[in-house]
């Protein structure tokens, strides 16, 4: 059993770490000012400029196949990369990416939607969550009915990431009201010009999701993604990708935060000595370090399982999503506590980390859903602790 990284993995990590340090971290001071002023974040133009700079570094489309101009990285390599990207408060993501289910486009859709999305000429969002259907995808009510050569879609989606700027929405809608949920839904490629509208949802963190409304939106039959009735499978595939990407980002954030705590513990003095000499602080540092390292390897195991299409992948990804999200929140809270009153102010970025990390326990599969999934895997016998070892 070898836990060391390959030379290629070390090179990827070193290069993206250098890019984040040089190009992204310097933007954090301005980001904090914007947050204090009007709760705004990085602009679309700033993000695009950073993505093009990263492209010159060789980072473009980490998950995008090489034949589409991407890096074609496996899941473990992507996890290592996202751990580095997670170390900055700036909500930066690399360009050259497309929603994984867009690769189910047919030849015409590929030219019209997939390739322009990869190049960044159009932006997309994935619209599945509804006001009364979050974790329970079987409760989706957005409907699509055939009318001649078109489908007419009615419904409302909510908490849709990237919807405000999206030119294209991948909308999951019910096309057969009487079918089993596995065949009742279909995915549609809906252009904004076809008539959907969006409105922002204000959150406690930097995320800017939106509601997405469809009122009699007509979509050509040619814009069905995959096959009619294939929407549930595509939705689950889209959701599954985040089960190791989001924990990877959380590991990066926790590592950055812990580093801040260690640095502060050396310079802050109380009762005549640095606070690092107080046992209460030492225990918080120790607990955070133990959780961080456990989180790192749980996340990498989930990514490894995904790479190998291992039979334990469902359980290991649920374990990673559940535990890492909670540990990252706990570490952020301890780091704030170590900083005391100054940590609670908006002068330091800790308060923003605390708010941003909290959503990890909710979106792309809440804590409760991960527990439900994991319990089902164990009780059915599909997963046994240590099962990935054979």
Burial of residue 309 (number of CB atoms within 10 Å: 0-12, 13-18, 19+): exposed
* CA dihedral sign of residues 112, 62, 356, 376: positive
* Phi, psi (rounded to 5 degrees) for 145: -125, 145
Burial of residue 264 (number of CB atoms within 10 Å: 0-12, 13-18, 19+): buried
Burial of residue 310 (number of CB atoms within 10 Å: 0-12, 13-18, 19+): middle
> H/E element holding 191?
strand 185-191
> Does residue 108 have an active-site annotation?
no
Count Cβ neighbours within 10 Å for each residue of 280-300 and write b for 16 or more, e otherwise: ebeebbeebbebbeebbebbb
* CA dihedral sign of residues 294, 245, 14, 42: negative
Collapsing DSSP states into helix, strand and coil, what is residue 385? Answer: coil
Say which of 119, 263, 364, 368 is annotated catalytic. 364
Q: What's the CA gap between 279 and 116, in Å, rounded?
A: 56
| Cβ-based neighbours of 47, under 8 Å, separated by 6 or more | 92, 93
> H/E element holding 210?
strand 210-220
Residue found by looking up tokens 């170390």 in the block: 87
Q: What's the CA gap between 122 and 166, in Å, rounded?
A: 8
Q: What's the CA gap between 223 and 146, in Å, rounded?
A: 13
Q: Where are the beta strands (DSSP E) in 9-113?
A: none
Count Cβ neighbours within 10 Å for each residue of 100-129 and write b for 16 or more, e otherwise: ebbebbeeebbebbbbbbbebebbbbbbbb
Return the active site residues.
Answer: 364
């Amino acid at each position: 059993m070898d836990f060391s990284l390959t030379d290629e993995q070390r090179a990827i990590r070193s290069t993206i770490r250098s890019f984040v340090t040089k190009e992204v971290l310097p933007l954090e001071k301005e980001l904090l000012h914007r947050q204090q002023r009007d709760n705004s974040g990085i602009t679309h133009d700033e993000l695009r400029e950073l993505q093009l700079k990263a492209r010159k570094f060789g980072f473009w489309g980490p998950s995008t196949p090489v034949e589409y101009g991407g890096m074609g990285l496996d899941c473990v390599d992507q996890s290592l990369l996202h751990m580095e990207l997670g170390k900055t408060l700036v909500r930066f993501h690399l360009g050259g990416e497309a929603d994984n289910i867009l690769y189910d486009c047919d030849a015409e859709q590929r030219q019209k939607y997939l390739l322009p999305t990869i190049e960044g000429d159009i932006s997309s969002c994935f619209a599945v969550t509804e006001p009364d259907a979050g974790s329970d995808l079987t409760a989706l009510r957005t409907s699509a009915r055939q009318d001649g050569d078109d489908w007419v879609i009615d419904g409302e989606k909510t908490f849709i990431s990237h919807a405000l700027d999206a030119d294209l929405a991948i909308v999951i809608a019910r096309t057969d009201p009487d079918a089993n949920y596995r065949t009742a839904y279909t995915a549609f490629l809906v252009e904004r010009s076809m008539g959907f509208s969006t409105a922002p949802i204000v959150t406690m963190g930097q995320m800017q999701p939106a509601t997405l409304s469809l009122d009699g939106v007509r979509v050509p039959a040619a814009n069905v993604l995959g096959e009619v009735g294939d929407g549930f499978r595509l939705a689950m595939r889209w959701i599954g990708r985040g089960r190791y990407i989001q924990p990877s980002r959380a590991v990066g954030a926790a590592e950055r935060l812990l580093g801040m705590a260690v640095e502060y513990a050396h310079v802050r003095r109380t009762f005549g000595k640095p606070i690092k000499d107080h046992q209460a602080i030492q225990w918080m540092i120790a607990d955070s370090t133990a959780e961080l390292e456990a989180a790192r390897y749980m996340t990498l195991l989930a990514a490894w399982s995904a790479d190998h299409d291992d039979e334990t992948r469902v359980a290991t990804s649920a374990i990673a999503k559940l535990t890492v999200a909670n540990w990252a929140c706990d570490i952020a809270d301890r780091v704030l506590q170590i900083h005391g009153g100054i940590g609670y102010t908006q002068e330091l970025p800790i308060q923003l980390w605390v708010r941003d990390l909290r959503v990890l326990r909710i979106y792309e599969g809440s804590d409760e859903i991960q527990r439900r999934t994991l319990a089902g895997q164990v009780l059915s016998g599909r997963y046994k602790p240590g099962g990935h070892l054979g």
